[in-house]
Amino acid sequence: MAPEPKRVLLLYTDKYYLVKQVYPFGLDLIANHLRQFGHYVTIEFPFLPNADPESNLKEILERTDPDFIGLGFRNLDTTMSCEQYGEHTGPGYKTYYFFPELKRLVQILRNHRSEAPIIAGGGAFTISPVVILERLGIEYGIVGQGEEPLRQFLEAFPDERKISDIPNMVFKYGDDFHVNPVRSYTFQELSTLHHREEKFNYAYENAGLPVQVKRGCNQNCSYCVEPFIEGRRFIFKNQGEVIEELMTIAEKHAGVKTIFFVDTEFNLPDLGYCSVLVKEIMKSGLHEHFRFSSQFLPRPFDHAFAKLLAEAGFAIILTCDSFADSVLEKNGSSYRQKDIIETIELCEKFSIDCTLALIFGLPGETYDTINHTIRQMMYYTPNAFRRYEYTVGGRIYQGTPLCHFVEQQGVDHNLYGKKSAGHIEPYYYCSPASPMKLKAYIERTLPFPTIYQNKFDETRQQTLAISYLVDQNRWHEATARYFESDLTARASVYDYLFRKLVDSDRTEAARDISEHLLEALLQSKKSAENKDQVAVVQYYLSLLPTSG
């Protein structure tokens, strides 16, 4: 007999979405899997549309009436030690730390839906599951891939014996917690996403849509947690299934123009699988519909592969933690400066858009190695196709080579932040000085320092709130909030709101928001600066049929 369908609420708890719109891909995979077995699944973001998560959660709980609540923990912090606007500070560092907000979410859920079991999961959870459950007062969690374990949990609950047999499960066992062995993952037919969560359409159109083609990572980078989350063994999705998924996206999501392959590194373990996939993309004509992007290592990467990427319109984010071989070697990198330079030059030769991602301050870093890296950055200076992004200091996570290095070191030299159980609180290694001092040194020395606009602000909150309501077809609430928002927010979200209103045959509402914005722009003290925006609004108005 088929199990009784359950109502499942999956909460995307990453507040950083308000700064950088990365949609909950993992939760979407889980929701897709559970729906295949008849369960009713809703994905929600508790920090929108209102600034107060309690008011959002109360509305969500009343509307969804869940039997089970899943919490997806993507990040506990931003991993960055020099956040200009960070609220979590200490000697030599400044960052965002989200765990206190997660505790508040759990408390709100307990207050308003105490009878519903809560299950934690996600990348951040997998790193330190027991400590997180203890700190949050939750009894259940899932490490690693959660699609099938969560399905089994829904059908097993409340039978503790059955729950204890589920792979990847973390559960209360007496006064402690037990972590079950992780089951090896395999791509199955049910793992292909034919439907994406529409509440995050704004993120798809502005930040790109993630597509997964493999899982696993065989690298040994000192600071990285991916091998723990993904596993060290590579599991590949059939290229034909990837093409089918991309074709579905092209058909159902006309506004999506960028696809981001969310592999740990696209060109691992070799160029075989990824080269075939890129050729299939071109063969299907998808390269004329989308722009593609992914993370890459400097090796393996050769002339033929670069030419292929250029023809398919790929942009690459190149992991190259340092140009100093001594630092690369000490931190387990599988490439050296020679490989980085060869890849940079190939990207330049074929006009491939390339963002180089570096980390200053890892073990082995000195002012000499920093200066060496900066000299290489200045030699391969930013241009139309090349840019640099860097962070300072390595975030120490439980079980990583960097964590082992710090523990073996046995002293507090070059350590910043708080050493906590499971390393769930911000904790950094940074050499040869504190993160903030090193950041200041780099900014003085480098003509083009990286500036991160990672600020939570009211205007962005308003913009995202309106788009979030639009993506749920809550038109009355979206337009009402639009008229209440400040001019900057209205101008920011206008294009998106206008297009969605027109697409849904709400032309009079589209006219109303356009005329309202046009009047405000013309009356603004900055009317001269608003000239281009005024022209856009006037053009959009001209596209609408004459009223009456």
Read off the pLDDT of residues 4-35 as tens digits, 9 standing for 90 and up.
Answer: 999 999 999 999 999 999 999 999 999 999 99
Q: Are residues 154 and 233 in the same domain?
A: no
Q: Are residues 39 and 159 in the same domain?
A: yes
Residue at which a domain ends, from 160, 179, 198 = 179
Mean pLDDT across 288-313 = 98
Q: Dihedral sign, CA of 168, 229, 197, 465?
A: positive
Q: Are residues 131 and 234 in the same domain?
A: no
Pair 121, 74: CB distance under 8 Å: no
Q: Transcribe 268-329 into DSSP letters.
A: -S-SHHHHHHHHHHHHTTGGGT-EEEEEE-SSS--HHHHHHHHHHTEEEEEE---S-HHHHH
Comparing CA positions, the residue from 446, 461, 68, 393 lying closest to residue 223 is: 393
- What are the C-alpha distances in Å from 165 to residues 125, 139, 362, 441? 20, 15, 41, 53
Per-residue pLDDT tens over the stretch 40-66: 999 999 999 999 999 999 999 999 999
CA dist 240 and 187 (Å) reads 13
Query: What was the pLDDT predicted at 204?
Result: 92
CA dist 318 and 301 (Å) reads 11
CA dist 209 and 260 (Å) reads 6
Per-residue pLDDT tens over the stretch 354-387: 999 999 999 999 999 999 999 999 999 999 999 9
Q: Tell me the range of 150-159, 456-465, 539-548 where mean pLDDT is highest.
A: 150-159
**Alpha helices (H) along 139-238:** 147-156, 160-163, 201-207, 226-230
DSSP, collapsed to helix, strand or coil, labels residue 82 as strand
Q: Are residues 218 and 362 in the same domain?
A: yes
Q: Are residues 382 and 474 in the same domain?
A: no
Q: What percent of the chain has pLDDT over 70?
A: 98
DSSP, collapsed to helix, strand or coil, labels residue 379 as helix
Domain at 302, CATH number: 3.20.20.70
Domain presence at residue 440: no
Mean pLDDT across 82-103 = 95
Confidence of residue 188 (pLDDT cuts 50, 70, 90): low
- Poorest-confidence range of 68-72, 94-98, 228-232, 405-409? 228-232
Which residues are CB-contacts of 305 (< 8 A; sequence separation ≥ 6)? 267, 271, 275
Q: Are residues 250 and 356 in the same domain?
A: yes
Q: What percent of the chain has pLDDT over 90?
A: 88
Strand order in the sheet with 353-360: 209-211, 258-261, 291-296, 314-319, 353-360, 386-392
Query: Is the bond preceding residue 91 a cis peptide, omega within 30 degrees?
Result: no
Other residues' Cβ atoms within 10 Å of the Cβ of residue 3: 12
Other residues' Cβ atoms within 10 Å of the Cβ of residue 505: 9
Mean pLDDT across 534-538 = 94
Per-residue pLDDT tens over the stretch 193-205: 778 999 999 999 9
Confidence of residue 548 (pLDDT cuts 50, 70, 90): low
Domain at 94, CATH number: 3.40.50.280
Domain presence at residue 358: yes
Residue at which a domain ends, from 345, 362, 395 = 395
Query: What was the pLDDT predicted at 168?
Result: 96
Confidence of residue 297 (pLDDT cuts 50, 70, 90): very high
- Helical packing angle, 99-112 and 129-136, nearest 10°: 50
Domain at 530, CATH number: 1.25.40
Domain presence at residue 144: yes
CA dist 44 and 58 (Å) reads 12
Q: Dihedral sign, CA of 520, 522, 523, 526?
A: positive
Domain presence at residue 502: yes
Domain presence at residue 99: yes
Q: Are residues 216 and 170 in the same domain?
A: no
The structural domain count of the chain equals: 3
Q: Are residues 168 and 251 in the same domain?
A: no
CA dist 317 and 293 (Å) reads 7
Inform me whether the pLDDT recorded for 521 exceeds 70: yes
Residue 429 pairs with which residues in a beta bridge? 394, 415
Domain presence at residue 255: yes
Per-residue pLDDT tens over the stretch 446-484: 999 888 778 888 899 999 999 999 999 999 999 999 999
- What are the C-alpha distances in Å from 394 to residues 131, 219, 224, 363, 406? 21, 17, 9, 9, 11
Query: What was the pLDDT predicted at 75?
Result: 92
Containing structural domain, residue 481? 458-543
Mean pLDDT across 384-391 = 96
Query: What was the pLDDT predicted at 191?
Result: 62
Q: Which two tokens stand for residue 324?
A: 């100093």
Distance between start and end Cα atoms, the chain: 59
